[in-house]
Amino acid sequence: MRGLCYFFLSILTQVSSSTLKVIGFFGHNVTLPCRYDSQTHGVLSFCWGRGRVPRSQCSSTILSSQDGAGPFRQSPRYQLLGRVTDGDVSLTILDAQWSDAGVYGCRIEIPGWFNDKKVNTHLVMEDAPVEQPVTQDWTPVAGDILTTFVTNNVEVGEIIGIATTEEKFKAFLEVGNIGRMAAIFFFIIIISLVFVFRRRFLPKRTLQHLNTSTAENIYEVL
């Protein structure tokens, strides 16, 4: 009978627990997730320990809190950076080291039999990725200078020496160019006036000349 009870207890333990894998980088902060529904249960007691979550409490407890009270922590490197009152009791390890690798267990004490939530997390430590320098292939163009700045893997290029249309127009509107434009403008006006004058008065003089020639011819006939 006792063996049957242990069998059912082990089944319930497996159902209420989960296992995660988290990869952390040496020298960086790493967060091991653990959450519960605080709107349904309110603020609950919880604990974190090294090793898998046992049948009760946590093994080798490194951080714990009872009913929202100030947490106990084994080291200042173990922090709760989430909103604990909202059910976020994720464990953050500051400046993770190689010795931090291993299994961590989170237990949240939910009222009722076999209701505790258990999260086992396997932390794997790796070297932080090396940031590769950013290079750019480009072909220089006459009159163009390309300067490149690299900050946090973000490449910013600035083109210098390319005059925009507005800049060219402003350069054209200098004092010397304005004088030339004024001379050209007045020359065009004079040509236009001469053309209009010829169109208006030349036909009248031609017509008068023709009338005079006709009258002379009539007098000669008489």
Domain boundaries, the chain: 17-126, 165-221
Q: What is the pLDDT of residue 9?
A: 42
d(CA 4, CA 15) in angstroms, rounded, equals 17
Stretch 20-24: mean pLDDT, rounded? 95
Q: What is the pLDDT of residue 22?
A: 97
Q: Which helix (H) or strand (E) holds 152?
A: none
Could you tell me the CATH superfamily of domain 17-126? Immunoglobulins (2.60.40.10)
Stretch 186-193: mean pLDDT, rounded? 84
Share of the chain above pLDDT 70, in %: 61
Query: Which of 21-30, 33-42, 195-204, 212-221 bottoms out in mean pLDDT, i.e. has the lowest?
Result: 212-221
Q: What is the pLDDT of residue 99?
A: 97
Stretch 123-136: mean pLDDT, rounded? 82
Q: Quick check: 26 and 127 in contact, CB under 8 A? A: yes
d(CA 100, CA 38) in angstroms, rounded, equals 29
Q: What is the pLDDT of residue 167?
A: 54
Q: What is the pLDDT of residue 181?
A: 72
Q: What is the pLDDT of residue 113?
A: 86
In the structure, what pLDDT confidence band is assigned to residue 192 with cuts at 50, 70 and 90?
A: confident
Beta strands in the chain (DSSP E): 17-25, 30-32, 45-50, 61-65, 72-73, 78-79, 91-93, 102-109, 117-126, 145-151, 154-160
Residue 60 has pLDDT above 90, yes or no: yes
Q: What is the pLDDT of residue 151?
A: 40
* Residue 175: both structure tokens together: 């004092």
Q: pTM of this prediction?
A: 0.54
